[in-house]
Amino acid sequence: PGFPADPFLVALTGDAGVWRSPDDGASWVATTLPGEGRATALSYSPEFDLDDRLWLGMSTGAVFRSSDRGETWSAALPEVEGEPLDQAIHDLVALDGDRMLAISADFAVLCSDDAGDNWSLCDQGIPWPAAQHSRFWGHYRRLSRPAGGSSPVVLAAWEGLVLGKEAGEQWSEACFLTPDYVRSVAFSPGYPDDPTLWLGTYGGGVHRSQDGGETWTVLAADKEHQFTEAIVPSPEYPADPTLFLVTARRVLLTADGGDSFRQLDATGIALAHDVVLSPGFADDRIAFTVGTTEDEGQWVIARSDDGGDSWAEIWRGEPPPAPQIVSLLAPPEFADGGPLFGIQQEPAAVVRSGDGGGSWEEVLVLEEAGARLLAADGGLLAVT
């Protein structure tokens, strides 16, 4: 949620490396992390433009911190009840000040008050002790917060959501869903002035809260019991109440914040995987859908210039194992005619388009697939 200023940064699976680009992705410089493992989570300070701090959660249980925008890193190994954490950091978020929260693959909820140097258990009030009530892998799915590091912190579990007040010192149940399970969470870009948040489920449709998670409404899409892959509100929500959903590999659009939906026909795409909006969507109405054909599994990019009403296929990969572009990112500069970026498979690479997605060039070849791009004002962030 929310994006800091430059630079570009990439954290990749497999080789514990970080790459930064000072020139809008044209060239890249590698830096080295102080340990082994692969990056499993990334967070940056709500005051990143001022303090330059980034954190990586690692598969080894370590947390790496940089105070110079990824040029150099230091390492800390969280302890749980006096023992070093030996499970991967599943997700982590940086809050105001030096407060950090993290979840591990073995269901621990951790907190730090010194920017990640020391960690302790922080699960007071969570109603679903994993060891007693959940036998599912990945009991705690993810941590989310609104832009700017503000409260509340949302902890998504298989069973539902819990809200962390006072920076996670105390948790309370917000929504109980079993057996539907949480799949995706999104905050209104206008939060906290607009305290709307949405959650998608494994088969139970989309739920909306308009009071910061205190009460919930099941939206119309629930009648089809769809699996919600992604929830994508307009960057100007709620002034622009447009909301896209990727559900059961279809794209749905609502122009009223979720009260009613219609299915879109993204030309050439049989199975949709994601929707990406221009940062200037409220004015330029540009949207992209990334997906695959049903028969050969080729990846396709479709573009809409009218807010989703009509679509045109702008790129299609050759049949595998030819290169396939599997995810997109439109950084803030895209709204002013800047480039579009993507992640390519076979070979793995960061790719760049200067013509709105019609043609692509490799700008960083990767040793292993799995990177994921996040936008920044004046640059990019990418994490596994």
Q: How many CB atoms lie within 10 A of CB 282?
A: 17
- Parallel, antiparallel, or unpaired for β 8-11 and 379-383? parallel
Return the SS3 of 105: coil
Q: How many CB atoms lie within 10 A of CB 262?
A: 11
- Give the pLDDT score at 14: 52
Q: 131 in the Ramachandran plot: left (φ > 0), alpha (ψ -120 to 50) or beta?
A: alpha
Q: How many CB atoms lie within 10 A of CB 18?
A: 24
pTM of the model: 0.84
Report the chain's terminal Cα–Cα distance, integer Å: 17
Q: From 75, 151, 63, 53, select the one nearest 108 (Cα to Cα).
A: 63
Structure token digits, residue 329: 């990112």
pLDDT digits (tens, 9 = 90+) for 335-356: 888 889 888 888 888 889 999 9
The rounded mean pLDDT for the chain is: 79
Q: What percent of the chain has pLDDT over 70?
A: 77
- Give the pLDDT score at 159: 65
Angle 40-44-49 from CA coordinates, rounded to 5°: 155
**Reported confidence tier of residue 32, pLDDT bands at 50, 70, 90:** confident
Give the residue with greater pLDDT, 200 vs 140. 200
- Give the pLDDT score at 236: 92
